[in-house]
A and B are shown apart, each in its own frame.
Chain A
Amino acid sequence: MRKILIVGATSAIAEATARLFAARGDALYLAGRNPDRLQILADDLRTRGANLVATARFDARDYDGHADLIDSAVHALDGLDTVLIAHGTLPDQKACEASFVAARDAFEVNALSVISFLTPIANRFEAQSGGTIAVISSVAGDRGRQSNYVYGAAKSCLDTFLEGLAHRLATANVAVITVKPGFVDTPMTAAFQKGPLWASPEQVARDIDRAIAKGRRVIYTPWFWRWIMRIIRSVPTFVFHRTRL
């Protein structure tokens, strides 16, 4: 039975992943902004077989509270071996261009707050010589593009941080997993027109679950995004600049 903390538990991908954990009888600590929604999730996961589900309110920008949240999780679950960080926002790129406040906000929620959580978690897992950290990043971090580079930059920041963290923790038997989804059909992307490249939260959840089981380093989900981004990254600047990607 694993003891899993999920930050941003009410997001669609986190909920789908939590169901896979619950079916296996894991113990779960769910952190989110909305207590009503956390309760709704907890009832569902308990019914589906979770050994124990506890919930807590958290705020991404309340950095001081993050270490306490982790301690609460450890206390509630009597230990901790897995963390899934799934919170984030998709900012309006144009709004971020118009105002630094919007851009800073995007960075705080998507990058800085994650680092704030990972600092005490990394130290704890290093000390206990074991554990798995999975963080949901995005393919947007693979290349800065005019359509979403503020979001992309925040995710790219995460990617490099996680790469270094993975290196540091490799000898401590701690896996650090960067999850890079492409287009996923969730409330966050409700405004977008969907097409054949779009994945469901359930598909992404299965990939995350498998990655955690195998301790993978970086996964693209669905798998074909690895190849799409390889191509995107290799397009020469003078060509790329002619696109509106």
Chain B
Amino acid sequence: MTIRRYESWGRYPKASHASVLAAHWRKDPLPLPESSDQSILPYGNGRSYGDVCLNEGNTLLDTRGLDRFIAFDPETGILRCEGGVLLSEILDLVVPQGWFLPVTPGTRFVTVGGAIANDVHGKNHHRSGTFGCHVRAFELVRSDGSRRLCACDTNAEYFGATIGGLGLTGLITWADLQLRKIDNPFIAGETVRYQNLQDFFALSAESDRDFEYTVAWIDCLARGPSLGRGVFIRGNHAERKPVPEPRTSRLGLAVPFTPPISAINGATLKMFNAAYYYCHPAGRHPSTLHYAPFFYPLDSVAEWNRIYGPRGFLQYQFVVPLAQGVEAVREILQRIARASTGSFLAVLKIFGERGSPGWLSFPQPGVTLALDFPNVGTKTFDLLAGLDGVVREANGRLYPAKDARMSGTDFRNAYPMWHDLEALRDPRIDSSFWRRVREEH
């Protein structure tokens, strides 16, 4: 058995915690550290990137013991389960019965609690909004012993504060989710290679009309007339099971150790990106595939985050309104290409209009770009501070679930309801992220 490491996915910053408690039974009171000056933070599966799941010098509450199902109605698709259940466990249960997650992020190894706390989104945001849009209710347990049933019309302020609330309002012991009906586990997908940023926007507008799931992989190092080139990926749930069934590869790869330096640097990245781009022939290429490789291509490479070396990496995701979006994205891509840094895994997507009940929900209508930067120290941080400026100018904002270094001022300006969340924060709960952003240091 591997000893559980309490890190974030980016493995930066590293945090040492005074202790880790565990929750096993949802009817028990919230476990609390003995010392009253210690705060606690619920920890799911550690797939957020920066420090929203860390609580330096204090205590973590491991919630994976709350991994039970409570009830599932295969007629209505309403599932009630504990907060520590993984989305992968939900899929294993419900897909064979003809149901799917209404919204899924890029990995299925996140807990329900984590999905709510970060109000995660996916390739179908333009149709279905965020995860929080499909949460009918949940139970919130706090350090004062209170247990609240929260829904849009019950304890509504706790409902709004907790969705996207980064775990700060209490422990989500269970939640009711409305799932989405499917006929079979396959996706009728298509890839379309496109040549530049302008093409992306045109392709996206067209695709969002006809496809439930859309996203673009983007070559973040391409310059000049090729700036923003990439491969557009789109798909719908297959209407019928394909015959013959596509083979699902059982080849599980893993990164068994951490290479001493990041395996991803300027030179290798430019090559990978070019190869990936040209690997896709021009034009549209349909293929039907199982949901796992369509939604979760990286999940099959266990611990891929180690490929960035011991210093870890910084994930950067922002959204800017469409009006200024094109220029902002162009400017950002130019800066990244000039700095010759960046990641293979860069994704671009248009967010839709559907709002979320979460007060601190990240998505807003506009365009979002997400990518990783190997942590090479000052150079990385300076670049990101520069990008922050572009995002700020364009009235955009960053995604807390991915952040390890945004300034408190930027955060507070971008999320004015942070005040309201702070008012409802459980007095015994805190996080490294929240301490960092709620005041200037």
Q: Give A residues with C-beta under 8 Å from B.
A: 36-37, 40-41, 43-44, 47-48, 185, 187, 190, 194-196, 198-200, 203
Contacts and interface: CB of A to CB of B under 8 A. Distances in A.
Given A44-B68, A47-B70, A47-B93, A190 B1 contact: no
Given A196-B3, A200-B1, A40 B69 contact: no
Contact of A37 (B22, B25, B71): B25
Interface string B130-150: 000000000000000000000
Contact of B27 (A36, A199, A200): A36
Contacts of B234: none
Contacts of B3: 194-196, 198
26 contacts: A36-B25, A37-B25, A37-B27, A40-B26, A40-B27, A40-B68, A40-B70, A43-B70, A43-B71, A44-B69, A44-B70, A47-B70, A47-B72, A47-B93, A48-B69, A185-B1, A187-B22, A187-B24, A190-B22, A194-B1, A194-B3, A195-B3, A196-B1, A198-B3, A199-B1, A203-B1
Given A37-B25, A187-B24, A43 B68 contact: yes
A40 B70 CA distance: 7
A140 B25 CA distance: 28
Most buried by B among A41, A48, A196, A198: A48
Contacts of B27: 36-37, 40
A77 to B, nearest CB: 22
Contacts of A43: 68-71
Contacts, number: 38
Contacts of A200: 1
Contacts of A44: 68-70
A40 B26 CA distance: 9
A43 to B, nearest CB: 5
A47 B78 CA distance: 12
Cβ-closest 10 pairs across A and B: A44-B68, A47-B69, A200-B1, A43-B70, A44-B69, A47-B72, A198-B1, A36-B27, A194-B3, A199-B1
A41 B66 CA distance: 11
Contacts of B93: 47-48
Contacts of A37: 25, 27
Contacts of A41: 68
A185 B72 CA distance: 29
Nearest to A200: B1
Interface string B59-81: 00000000011111000000000
Interface in B6-30: 22, 24-27
Contacts of A47: 69-72, 93
A41 B3 CA distance: 26
A98 B112 CA distance: 47
A155 B229 CA distance: 67
Contacts of B25: 36-37, 40
A221 to B, nearest CB: 12
A153 to B, nearest CB: 28
A194 B22 CA distance: 14
Contacts of B68: 40-41, 43-44
Nearest to A183: B1
Contacts of A190: 22
Contacts of A194: 1, 3
Contacts of A48: 69, 93
A169 B68 CA distance: 37
A203 B1 CA distance: 9
Contacts of A203: 1
Given A43-B70, A47-B72, 20 more contacts: A36-B25, A40-B25, A40-B26, A40-B27, A40-B68, A40-B70, A41-B68, A43-B71, A44-B68, A47-B70, A47-B93, A48-B69, A185-B1, A187-B22, A187-B24, A190-B22, A196-B1, A198-B3, A200-B1, A203-B1
Nearest to A41: B68
A200 B67 CA distance: 14
A47 B97 CA distance: 12
Contacts of B24: 187
A195 B4 CA distance: 10
B336 to A, nearest CB: 41
Contacts of B1: 185, 194, 196, 198-200, 203
Contacts of B69: 43-44, 47-48
Nearest to B3: A194
Contacts of A187: 22, 24
A185 B1 CA distance: 9
A198 B69 CA distance: 26
Contacts of B70: 40, 43-44, 47
